[in-house]
Structure 1
Amino acid sequence: MTDAAEQKMRFLYALRSKGVTDARVLSAMEKIDRGLFVRGLFAERAYEDMPLPISCGQTISQPSVVGLMTQALNVNTRDKVLEVGTGSGYQAAILSLLARRVYTVDRHRRLVREAQELFQQLDLVNITAMTADGSFGLPDQAPFDRIIVTAAAEDPPGPLLAQLKIGGIMVLPVGQSDAVQSLIKVTRTETGFEYEELRPVRFVPLVEGLGSE
């Protein structure tokens, strides 16, 4: 077995052992090479189950957390998905294999530009990436079947809740940025919202406004 094949096998085993069991999610994570999304010093650690630093003071999430969030989102092939916090682009790339259309926004122009280059390289044509203040969502494209937020807010942002379709699901970390955060699954019903707490997590805080680069 080649090193690369063994690395991939260990990577998928780590995901399963952390509770990522959905076959479609595992298949998408097998196809999207995390190594492409980690640059510089940390590239050799791309296949370890750990968060790693990327440009603009942000991080690429731990693969098992990406897998668990994607699994909780329960994306269907006809869904239109909004991702708040493009970061490296890794999460959006995985979602693009599961959904009909992915819109991803980030406050850092540089991250959006670098992610767009990777999406083109991988021929992921159903992703639209743009620089925007994600805490306001994307009203022009709303409503969304699924919304995923990869930065922690104290509460689910009102504009994002409003942009979720009835029957839609949002997955996001909530809590004070320097204390314990919880991964939450929000389902919009005919009468309101249902909240389910999934697990403790650590994410960078959701910041309003645009970044400096």
Structure 2
Amino acid sequence: MQDTLRHQGLRNQLAELLSTKGIVDLQVLHAIRQVPRHLFLDSGFEAHAYQDKAFPIGADQTISQPYTVAFQTQLLHVKPQQKILEIGTGCGYQTAVLLELKAKVFTVERQGALFKRTKLFFGKMGYRPKKTVFGDGYKGLPEHAPFDGIIVTAGAPEVPKALLSQLKIGGRLVIPVGADSQVMTLFERTSEKEFKKTEYGDFRFVPLLEDKN
């Protein structure tokens, strides 16, 4: 598949749609305009890639709908060169949006087949996260902490304490919390032991997988 002027036009339309839905961060909208979402999907979904919908990507996982990606990214308040930890690499679309914002991205994926496929794809496309790790997202990446921001792209029944502990003071954790449906939740670390919590309504995500061994 190629990235054509038609695809660029569809991305512009998608960004306009997202702005009507409340995405006001111009840098986030610019990133949505730049990242070729159709290349992250199976070719059978190419015609639908710029609809505001989630699609399956294999291994019982999905690529989040663009509104969800933009909403979570907007909550992160990403600035260039910030260290961002992403839990749930998936097909890499959210990773690419963060890289477009010039973040230093550390990303963790639990599904082996998806991890291998996406890491190869990053190489082909020229996307360069600081670290792409096969591992347990519940544990984060303590060896690279603290992070300016942490984004979780799967539903967690509860907030992993390890992720809170790896957040820099002043940092932001964006995580969907809940079992069947999730509430998008922002934690801002205000001191060594204190966090400000804000909830932003219901979303639906695949579950965050934990290594039970």
* Shared fold (TM-score, shorter chain, > 0.5): yes
Q: Take 1:122 and 1:194, find their aligned partners in 2: how far apart are those partners?
A: 38
Q: SS at the partner of 2:12? A: helix
TM-score normalised according to structure 2 size: 0.92
Asked whether 1:165 is paired with 2:168, we answer yes
What are the residue-to-residue correspondences of 1:42-53 with 2, within 5 Å?
42-53=45-56
CA distance in 2, matches of 1:114, 1:152: 22
Give the distance between the partners of 2:117 and 2:130, measured in 1 at CA: 14
Q: How far apart are residue 42 of structure 1 and its match?
A: 2.1
- 8 Å contact 1:80–1:99 — kept in the other structure? no
Write the letter of the residue equivalent to 1:77. P
* Distance in 2 of aligned mates of 1:30 and 1:199: 26
**Counterpart in the other structure of 1:185:** 186
Contact 1:103 1:128 in 2 (8 A): yes
Q: Which amino acid aligns with 1:192?
A: E
In structure 2, the partner of 1:75 is: 78
Secondary structure at the aligned position of 2:188 is classed as strand
Give the deviation of 1:21 after TM superposition.
1.5
User: Distance in 1 between the 2:106 and 2:138 partners?
Assistant: 14
What is the rounded CA distance, in whole Å, between the counterparts of 2:103 and 2:86 in structure 1? 14
1:195 pairs, out of 189, 194, 197, with 197
Q: Distance in 2 between matches of 1:62 and 1:4?
A: 17
Residue 94 (1) aligns with residue 69 (2):
no
Residue number in structure 2 paired with 1:133: 136
Identity of aligned residues (%): 41
Q: Confirm whether residue 142 of structure 1 aligns to residue 148 of structure 2.
A: no
Which deviates further from its counterpart, 112-121 or 88-97?
112-121
Aligned with 1:114 (options 110, 114, 117): 117
Which ranges of structure 2 fall in alignment gaps of 5 or more residues?
Answer: none
Give the deviation of 1:99 after TM superposition. 3.8
Which whole-Å CA distance do the structure 2 matches of 1:125 and 1:153 have between them? 27
What is the deviation of 1:155? 1.8
Tell me, what secondary structure is at the counterpart of 1:203? coil
Instruction: Give the residue type in structure 1 aligned to 2:155.
Output: A
Deviating beyond 3 angstroms after TM superposition, the runs of 4 or more aligned structure 1 residues are 2-6
Give the aligned partner of residue 207 of structure 2: 205
Q: State the shift of 1:5 in Å.
A: 4.3
Q: Measure, in 2, the Cα distance between the counterparts of 1:127 and 1:38.
A: 23
How many residue pairs match? The answer is 207
TM-score (ref. length: structure 1): 0.92
> Which AA in structure 1 matches 2:25?
D
Q: Would the aligned equivalents of 2:81 and 2:103 in 1 still touch at CA under 8 Å?
A: yes
What is the deviation of 1:69? 0.4
Give the whole-Å Cα distance in 2 for the aligned partners of 1:11 and 1:100.
23
Aligned-residue CA RMSD (Å): 1.5
Q: Give the Cα separation in 1 of the matches to 2:88 and 2:12.
A: 28
